[in-house]
């Protein structure tokens, strides 16, 4: 089992709907970073350590039966969100099948020496921006593919801002 030496992991899903109400929404991307909360690292270095998974939206709708909500699509299409819409929603050469996530996320966590196997007050925590949003979405996807989640629910912490 890997030691994580006090490392934490943060993940953030982008969606095409309200995952809190519908955890079967289309997920265009997932950002993940492993970090040591006791290490002072310049922002550009943190960005280099992070990973972004961009998923095939069309496949999710046509093959996996995932859903999208018009109000969220309308929000993505607002002029002030145009850059993000093009980067996150529009198909690109980076897109992978959602079915590839489990192995690729496990590979990233191993590479970063993060493991939920180490627990304690300062070890192995998992951070999301809203545990009623990101975490159930992760569970829904992992259940869909019969994968074991990379962390137990009791490691979850919330970084929701106002």
Whether the CB-CB separation of 102 and 132 falls below 8 Å is answered with no
Burial class (CB in 10 A: 0-12, 13-18, 19+), 62: exposed
Contacts for 34-38 with beta carbons within 8 Å, 24 or more apart? 34/7, 34/8, 34/9, 34/108, 34/109, 34/112, 34/113, 34/114, 35/7, 35/8, 35/9, 35/10, 36/5, 36/6, 36/7, 36/8, 37/6, 37/8, 37/122, 38/6, 38/122
* Predicted pLDDT of residue 3: 52
* Predicted pLDDT of residue 1: 45
For 115-132, write each residue's pLDDT tens digit: 776 544 445 788 887 777
Comparing C-alpha atoms, which of 91, 85, 96, 106 is closest to residue 32? Answer: 106
Structure tokens at 59: 């496949």
Low-confidence ranges of the chain (pLDDT < 70): 1-5, 117-123, 160-162
Q: What's the Rg (C-alpha) of the chain? A: 16
9: which residues sit within 8 A by CB, 6+ positions away?
A: 32, 33, 34, 35, 109, 112, 114, 125, 126, 127, 151
**How do strand 8-14 and strand 29-35 relate by DSSP bridges?**
antiparallel
* Predicted pLDDT of residue 121: 45
């Amino acid at each position: 089992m890997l030691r994580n030496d006090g490392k934490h992991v943060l993940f953030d899903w982008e969606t095409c709907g309200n995952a809190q109400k519908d955890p079967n929404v289309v997920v265009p991307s997932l950002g993940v970073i492993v970090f040591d909360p006791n290490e002072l690292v310049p922002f550009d270095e943190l960005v280099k350590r992070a990973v972004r998974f961009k998923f095939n939206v069309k496949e999710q709708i046509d093959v996996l039966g995932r859903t999208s909500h018009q109000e969220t699509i309308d929000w993505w299409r607002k002029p002030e969100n145009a850059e993000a819409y093009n980067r996150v929603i529009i198909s690109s050469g980076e897109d992978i099948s959602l079915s590839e996530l489990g192995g690729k996320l496990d590979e990233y966590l191993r590479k970063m020496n993060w493991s939920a196997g180490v627990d304690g007050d300062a070890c192995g925590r998992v951070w999301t921006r809203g545990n009623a949003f990101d975490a159930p979405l992760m569970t829904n996807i992992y259940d869909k593919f019969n994968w074991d989640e990379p962390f137990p629910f009791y490691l979850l912490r919330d970084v929701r801002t106002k």
